[in-house]
Amino acid sequence: MYSFKNDYSEGAHPKILNALIESNLEQEDGYGEDRYTQKTVELLKEKLGRTDVDIHLISGGTQTNLIAISAFLRPHEAAIAASTGHIFTHETGAIEATGHKILSVEVEDGKLTPSHLQGVLDYHTDEHMVKPKLVYISNSTEIGSIYKKDDLKQLSEFCHQNNLILYMDGARLGSALCSDENDLSMEDIPSLVDAFYIGGTKNGALIGEALVICRDSLKDDFRFHMKQKGALLAKGRLLGIQFLELFKDNLFFDLAKNANRMAGMIRDELLKENIKFLTHSPSNQIFPILPNSVISELQENYSFHIWEKVDSNYSAIRIVTSWATKEDVVIAFITDLKKVLSNLVTK
């Protein structure tokens, strides 16, 4: 049984494990004050081309979103998110548990636009309602689409004009940046958003995300927020070592490219079979629409999420490939799928 359920089924890239073992008995300061974390912060600033950003390493995506959004907002302020947004659908109400309402917007491709935001602002007019303040986006999105440079520029300009905070969830940022359709660079991002994070958990690390705070007004006392919410790890070196390995050479991007390439192989072969997709997703998540009988047969050897029921006979499934997905597994899956489809036609 091979799993295409997510991109964190495997542990970590061997270079990271080796680095953790080799440094294991070294004595280091705690709470992110260790040499590895400090080197990582400087290295990431170099990669971003910005020395004026604050960078904090946090163990996971939900915790990063929770701490960042709750720190950035005043008690009466709210976050705007697509209806597919992770903070709205898959974080157990974490943001709202801190007292901040999420204003969801129905979108077709997982992406917010200025017109979406304007509609929310037009509706929330006075102090009898929550005040929209933060715009939450994901890149790549929860349904595999990506924000291109012009998309972000338009959002950035709108948010600036309306005094909104633009925050980007980068759990799969590597996949987005390495997409064949992407024109956005890592260096572009700090000038376009107020804060974002670089996802390690879904791109070769055991755990860890690197939060980058770009707007000065959001930086104050952030480590206090981390400590209060349990994110200031005594053994912060565990995060620093991992990100240092990911970014000291091209490993972060090489791993993301592998995930995208494996998804692309499946996508291309399914298109040849005239299989339709629920959404256009040029990243490491794809959503083919298949007959329910085909899905049942595939589930004998592969696991994946049934994403959405299309009608009584068809459903969309989510296939996620990872930094560690091997080509022979993908070829086997394609072969098995074609065989099942062929049997269906001959019945």
Each residue of 224-251: pLDDT tens digit?
A: 999 999 999 999 999 999 999 999 999 9
What average pLDDT does the segment 79-92 reach?
A: 96
Average pLDDT over residues 219-224: 98
Query: Is 347's pLDDT higher than 60?
Result: no
Check whether 110 has a pLDDT greater than 70: yes
263-303 residue pLDDT tens: 999 999 999 999 999 999 999 999 999 999 999 999 999 99
From CA 86, how far away is CA 223, in angstroms rounded? 24
pLDDT score at 305: 97
Residue range 181-193: average pLDDT?
Answer: 98
Q: How many helices (H) and strands (E) does the chain have?
A: 13, 13
pLDDT digit string (tens) for 5-40?
999 999 999 999 999 999 999 999 999 999 999 999
Instruction: Fill in the DSSP letter of residue 248.
Output: S
- CB-based burial of residue 199 (10 Å sphere; 0-12 exposed, 13-18 middle, 19+ buried)? buried
Alpha-carbon distance 158 to 166, whole Å? 10
All structural domains of the chain with their residue ranges = 14-247, 252-342
Rounded distance between C-alpha atoms, residue 288 and residue 85, angstroms = 20
Mean pLDDT over residues 166-189, rounded?
Answer: 98
pLDDT of residue 344: 77
Per-residue pLDDT averaged across 108-117, rounded? 96
Residue 183 has pLDDT above 90, yes or no: yes
Q: For residue 240, what are its two tokens?
A: 């620093």
Whether pLDDT at 46 is above 80? yes
Query: Whole-angstrom Cα distance, residue 140 to residue 170?
Result: 7
pLDDT at position 346, please? 62
DSSP 86: H
The answer, yes or no, to whether residue 148 has pLDDT greater than 70, is yes
Average pLDDT of 66-95? Answer: 97
pLDDT at residue 257 in the model:
98
Q: What is 283-332 written as a DSSP string? A: SSEE-BEEEHHHHHHHTTTEE-EEEEE-SSSEEEEEEE--TT--HHHHHH
How is domain 252-342 classified at the CATH fold level? Aspartate Aminotransferase, domain 1 (3.90.1150)
Average pLDDT, the chain: 97
pLDDT value of residue 211: 98
In the chain the beta strands, taken as DSSP E runs, fall at: 2-3, 54-58, 77-82, 102-105, 131-138, 165-169, 195-199, 209-213, 285-286, 289-291, 302-303, 305-309, 314-320
Per-residue pLDDT band at 58 (split at 50, 70, 90): very high
Instruction: Return the CATH fold of 14-247.
Output: Aspartate Aminotransferase; domain 2 (3.40.640)
Is residue 204 pLDDT above 80, yes or no?
yes
Helix ranges (H only) for 162-205 are 173-177
